[in-house]
Chains A and B, each alone.
Chain A
Amino acid sequence: MNAPVRTLHPLAKDRPLEKLALSEQIEFRNVTKLYSQVTAVRSLSLTVGRGEFLTILGPSGSGKTTTLMLLAGFEAPTEGDIRIAGKSVASVPSYRRDQGVVFQSYALFPHLTVRRNLEFPLEMRGIRSAERAARAERILSRVHLDGLGDRMPSQLSGGQQQRVALARALIADPPILLLDEPLGALDRNLREQMQGEIKGLHKEFGITTVCVTHDQEEALTLSDRIVVMNAGRIEQTDTPEALYDRPVSRFVANFLGDANILDDPSFAVESDTPQPDGTVAMIRPERIRISAPGATKSADADQRQHVAGTVTDMIYAGPLRRYHVAVGDNDVVIREHVAAGRQIFQIGDTIQLDWLRSDIRFVTT
């Protein structure tokens, strides 16, 4: 897709970019949601800044959709309070909350044309038909759907429907945008294209966005911050980099990317910092170097831990080679780029691994 157009949406101009992310827009205070037997969300506290793009990431059934539905007002919290712009919304029904919502199934009205779908939120706000038409036309062209206004939703492709859903959520310029697995139904190429589109629209409209997904790549690409949920609880909230680089728990470490957990008690991990109680050592596969035993050591050898191991498996995957190495009782995975001149090890080879002591992380179990 084309690079996002950097012109500000005419209606977003009263929200200058420099003001973004200064104050908090959404706040969850100890919110719990019980369905008859299941606790879908458990004392969740969370703030989202104005203009921020926050993604809720987690495995299936972890309570992501429930959190979003609570925010949209389609469900009421069993306990706790949700505040928007400083005011509790407990008694505000969904149809007074002024949020744009994109549903996983898009929820385009099948009996209305694309144009009528887009005009619906404006009509509900009592905007005159001439202006409605103008705004629908403008946003249609913004999402590259010029000329498709008179089609029925069923006559659009999946990606086009997705764009209409996004446009419909944005057209009335709500201060908050909620996305539930917006790209879940699209194929891989289209998904990447739409990620760019969403990111562009977010920047342009400066709209506070909460997005739910279980696709980690999507979360890492789009978000200012990511909330990782597990079994109704927040495991960690952080920027994408921090989340990947400094996961607090074994769950987060495993959920985002690959993680080597070094929990063989007979194996001593060297580290710059002391190991806190109730944690295990973790290192990312790409932080480990593999070499033949007795190979010349690098200049920073004194900052590194060197261990011996045996190759138990080697998988060739395109530009990458994955080794599984037994180090004591630990199964260590190493990813190495295939490059000319690199020595290739075979299963059963005894080899040497080394890593920077500063790359070791301690995560709660």
Chain B
Amino acid sequence: MLTLQKLTRASVVLTFPALCLLLLVFAIPIVQLFFNSINAPALSLVNYVTFFVHPANVRVLIQTIEVSIVATVICAIIGYPTAYLITAASKQVRSVLVILVLIPYLTSSLARTYAWVMILGDRGLINNLLLDLRVITSPLPLIYNRMAMYIGMVHIMLPIMILPLVSVMLGIDKSQVAAARSMGARPFSAFWRVFLPLSLPGLRSGALLVFILSLGFYITPAALGGLRDAMLSTFIAAEVQSSFNLGRIGAASFILLAIAMTVLAVLRLNPAGPKGNAASDRRNRFPAAGALVRHLTELGTLRRARRWNMHLYRAGDATHVWRFIGITVVIFTLLFLLFPGVVVIIVSFSAGTQLEFPPSGFSVQWYRSFFADPSWNRAALSSFEIAISVTIISTILGTLAAYGLSRSAPMLRNVLTLVLLAPITFPVIVVGIAAYLGLVSFGLVGSKTGIVLAHSIGAMSYVVVVVAATLANFDTSLEQAAKSMRAGPFRTFMRVTLPLIRPGILGGAVFAFLHSFDEVVISLLVSGLSIRTLPLKMWENIRHEIDPTVAAVASLLMLLPVLWLVAMYFIWWRSRSRMQAASARMLAAV
């Protein structure tokens, strides 16, 4: 009785609903999958041996790692200077630039992948243009090769590299660079010796996010890569479709997982800080999530009045040249990020029976066909239904969990956070397989409920990340104040905590919605072909080039992030300005 009372008073119970869902849909199946992979209880490594014995498998494995490394390096090479130039811009320009990077980030990656099919395809933009100009007589093989795959992957992941970099660079104390300059360091060595080391945490977070996502990438390689460019996730998916041998699937999944976790463990080691540095230790414990938090808070940071000193790279006679180069780099990166979207939107208004660029005439026929076709309508409706249910479930469970975590002991908090974020740190194909196994045991495969549950675990992770970041800035003395005024725990939460963390909760809800609404891989595995969500139907069309209506759908999906950004701007900015005014007053008073 007493222990029960104590337990209900402990904040950690608030994480239980979230953990329960995670356990049933994700954690138990993962363990089950692991046991399958070692043929438990026989404890044999035969599945792993079989994997490595086939040279084809080893080739896929090496290729997966190679592709991930190359994609990460390209993202870093393009992303670092871009992020640097974004930070160096004036406040207004910077806000615009960050939003231009955020738009593709929030856009359905399926729609963006499709854009590259439109550009690189045999009847795509480039080939059409070259044919028209009579430079070539037959289409160049631009698509379905390694090059196309890299272009698509870098396009998808560049924002994920740039955003954490920008937020770390904005946080760098410019006076340190100025100090180095004042001590006689040339601009270049001031950058090399001071700025670069300080910005490394951002580079590390960005690289880690890109690398881990690349490892589990499925859609883009499958849509743009050639037959020989299979990634491990393609391999696993094929295995699922052909044989469904759980032992082999398990072995491949755990090999993929092992690589991801190894890289995570290695990269999160802080080369600068020995063990003693507890604070930075904690921050680096989960760099992927940390980066996410940081670039979410970046949304608010946009308004931070930190005027980065231009003279950092404006030194000497080279001013104009450097300025020109800088502007060119930024413009090229943004073109690369945004142009494909523009192409899709233009193409979607094609008049002929085929999609073409440039369109020979203007028509809204594909939009009409989208709104008239019941199968598209059903798909869109299912997607909305599922995404809304996911948003509700994951926002409630995720918020409770984040609140419980923020009020628990640090040790417990760290461990549970790691567990709760697993669905967005594990390669998505592994999450999909686990969810499939979990749903099988409840007979929910191929049902909407099943898809909702499978989406909710990842969506919940996003909510936890965003709400936890908001709670980290929450002044706990406000809760104490409420309690000293006779508000019990529940009323304190409802009247004080909840209204103040609402922006974080709404932000988390937006991410939860997007996660579900754009999700393809997990849906592919758990839908059992009986339910079609919008992304699933799009995916089918992209792969088999059946119906040009997909261009109209992709264009409509591109509108969505703009709507979200407007919503988030209102949610975050309004609360920001209020808080900012308060803290400014405080500072003025001191």
B484 touches A158 (CB 8 A): no
Contacts of A185 in B (CB 8 A): 586, 589-590
The interface-forming segment of A78-86, A117-125, A141-149, A236-244 is A117-125
The interface-forming segment of B37-45, B139-147, B486-494, B504-512 is B486-494
CA distance A110 to B492 in the complex (A): 14
Contacts of A178 in B (CB 8 A): 484
Contacts of A93 in B (CB 8 A): 483, 488
| Smallest beta-carbon distance A150→chain B, Å | 15
| Smallest beta-carbon distance A288→chain B, Å | 38
Q: Which of B478, B481, B586 has the most CB of A within 10 A?
A: B481
0/1 string, A89-117, CB within 8 A of B gives 1: 00001111111110111010111000000
Question: Does A208 reach chain B (CB closer than 8 Å)?
Answer: no
A74 touches B483 (CB 8 A): yes
CA distance A179 to B478 in the complex (A): 15
| Smallest beta-carbon distance B10→chain A, Å | 13
| Smallest beta-carbon distance A204→chain B, Å | 20
The interface-forming segment of B107-115, B357-365, B552-560, B574-582 is B574-582
CA distance A121 to B487 in the complex (A): 8
Q: Which of B484, B499, B590 has the most CB of A within 10 A?
A: B484
A121 touches B485 (CB 8 A): yes
CA distance A107 to B497 in the complex (A): 12
0/1 string, B425-449, CB within 8 A of A gives 1: 0000000000000000000000000
Question: Does B496 reach chain A (CB closer than 8 Å)?
Answer: yes
B590 touches A153 (CB 8 A): no
A96 touches B585 (CB 8 A): no
Question: Does B189 reach chain A (CB closer than 8 Å)?
Answer: no
| Smallest beta-carbon distance B390→chain A, Å | 28
| Smallest beta-carbon distance B1→chain A, Å | 15
A99 touches B484 (CB 8 A): yes
CA distance A158 to B584 in the complex (A): 10
CA distance A100 to B477 in the complex (A): 13
A103 touches B485 (CB 8 A): no
| Smallest beta-carbon distance A136→chain B, Å | 13
Chain A: CB-nearest residue to B496 = A109
A103 touches B488 (CB 8 A): no
Question: Does B562 reach chain A (CB closer than 8 Å)?
Answer: no
Question: Does B588 reach chain A (CB closer than 8 Å)?
Answer: yes
0/1 string, B132-163, CB within 8 A of A gives 1: 00000000000000000000000000000000
CA distance A104 to B476 in the complex (A): 12
CA distance A73 to B483 in the complex (A): 9
B481 touches A103 (CB 8 A): yes
> Known contacts A105-B475, A107-B477, A111-B500; is A155 also within 8 Å of B581 by CB?
yes
> Known contacts A103-B481, A105-B475, A109-B496; is A95 also within 8 Å of B488 by CB?
yes
Please count how many residues in chain B sit with their CB below 8 Å of the partner chain's CB atoms: 28
A74 touches B480 (CB 8 A): yes
B486 touches A105 (CB 8 A): no
Contacts of B475 in A (CB 8 A): 105, 107
Contacts of A169 in B (CB 8 A): 484
Contacts of A101 in B (CB 8 A): 480-481, 484
CA distance A255 to B579 in the complex (A): 38
Contacts of A99 in B (CB 8 A): 484
| Smallest beta-carbon distance A186→chain B, Å | 7
Question: Does B482 reach chain A (CB closer than 8 Å)?
Answer: yes
A110 touches B579 (CB 8 A): yes
B485 touches A172 (CB 8 A): yes
Chain A: CB-nearest residue to B588 = A158
Contacts of A100 in B (CB 8 A): 484-485
| Smallest beta-carbon distance A165→chain B, Å | 9
CA distance A74 to B482 in the complex (A): 12
| Smallest beta-carbon distance A348→chain B, Å | 44
B578 touches A98 (CB 8 A): no
Which of B480, B482, B589, B590 touches A120 (beta carbons < 8 Å)? B482
A158 touches B586 (CB 8 A): yes
Chain B: CB-nearest residue to A184 = B590
B481 touches A124 (CB 8 A): no
0/1 string, A185-224, CB within 8 A of B gives 1: 1110000000000000000000000000000000000000
0/1 string, A146-188, CB within 8 A of B gives 1: 0000001111111101000000110010000010000001110
CA distance A42 to B481 in the complex (A): 26
Question: Does A229 reach chain B (CB closer than 8 Å)?
Answer: no
Q: Which of B475, B483, B491, B495 has the most CB of A within 10 A?
A: B483
CA distance A172 to B487 in the complex (A): 13
Which of A95, A103, A104, A154 touches B585 (beta carbons < 8 Å)? A154
Question: Does A332 reach chain B (CB closer than 8 Å)?
Answer: no
A103 touches B477 (CB 8 A): yes
Contacts of A107 in B (CB 8 A): 475, 477-478, 480-481
Question: Does A72 reach chain B (CB closer than 8 Å)?
Answer: yes
Supplied contacts A95-B487, A105-B586, A121-B485, 15 more A-B pairs, CB within 8 Å? A72-B484, A93-B488, A95-B489, A100-B484, A101-B484, A103-B481, A107-B477, A110-B500, A111-B499, A120-B487, A124-B491, A157-B588, A158-B586, A158-B588, A172-B485
Q: Can you list 19 residue pairs at the A/B interface with Cβ under 8 Å?
A: A94-B483, A95-B482, A95-B487, A95-B492, A97-B484, A98-B486, A101-B480, A103-B477, A103-B480, A105-B477, A109-B481, A109-B482, A120-B482, A121-B485, A156-B585, A157-B588, A159-B589, A168-B485, A172-B485
| 10 A-B pairs with least C-beta separation | A158-B589, A121-B485, A107-B481, A154-B582, A101-B484, A154-B581, A124-B486, A95-B483, A94-B483, A107-B477
